[in-house]
Structure 1
Amino acid sequence: MRFQDKVAIVTGAGQGIGESYARALAAEGARVVVAELNEAQGERVAKEIGDAALFVKVDVADPESTEAMAAAVMAEFGRVDHLVNNAAIFHSMRRDGLTTVPLDYLNRFLQVNMLGALHCTRAVVPHMTEGGSIVNQSSTAAWIGGGYYGLAKAGINSLTASLAAELGGRNIRVNGIAPGPTDTEATRSIVPKEYQEQMTNSLAIKRMGTPEDLAPTVLFLLSDEARWLTGQVVSVDGGQVVRL
Structure 2
Amino acid sequence: MARFTDRTVIVTGAAQGIGEEYAKALAAEGAKVIVADLNTERGTDVAKQITAGGGTAIFREVDVSEPESAAAVAEFTLGEFGRIDHLVNNAAIYGAMKLDLLLSVPWDYYKKFMGVNLDGALNMTRAVWKPMRKQGGGSIVNQSSTAAWTYSGFYGLAKAGINSLTQQLAHELGSANIRINAIAPGPIDTEATRSIVPEQFVDEIVKGAAIKRLGTPQDLVGACLYLLSDDAKWVTGQVLNVDGGTVFRA
**What band does the TM-score fall into relative to the shorter chain?**
over 0.9
Tell me the TM-score normalized by structure 2.
0.95
Matches within 5 A, 1:7-26: 7-26=8-27
In 2, the alpha carbon distance for the partners of 1:116 and 1:29 equals: 26
Offset of residue 145 of structure 1: 2.2
Partner of 1:144 in structure 2? 150
Aligned to 2:85: 81
2:3 paired residue number: 2
- 3-state DSSP of counterpart to 1:108: helix
Aligned residues: CA RMSD: 1.0
Deviation track 1:55-80 (CA, whole Å, cap 9, x = no partner) reads 11000001111111011100000000
Q: What is the distance in 2 between the residues matched to 1:127 and 1:54?
A: 19
Q: Distance in 2 between matches of 1:47 and 1:209?
A: 26
Is the aligned partner of 1:127 residue 2:131?
yes
SS where residue 234 of structure 1 aligns? strand
Structure 2 unaligned regions, length at least 5: none
Per-residue deviation, residues 199-223 of structure 1 (Å, max 9, x unmatched):
1111110000000000100000000
Q: Percent identity?
A: 61
- 1:34 is paired with a residue whose SS is strand
* Structure 2 equivalent of residue 169 of structure 1: 175
Superposition pairs of residues 16-55 of structure 1, within 5 angstroms: 16-50=17-51, 52-55=56-59
CA distance, structure 2, for counterparts of residue 199 and residue 21 of structure 1: 25
Aligned twin of 1:59: 63
Q: Secondary structure at the match of 1:170?
A: coil
Listed as ranges, the gaps of 5+ residues in structure 1 are: none
Per the alignment, residue 238 of structure 1 pairs with: 244
Q: State the 1:130 CA deviation.
A: 1.9
Q: Shift of the alpha carbon at 1:100?
A: 1.0
Query: Which of structure 1's runs of 4+ aligned residues deviate more than 2 A?
Result: none
Deviations 1:152-184 (A, max 9, x none): 001100100011000100110000000000000
TM-score (norm 1): 0.98
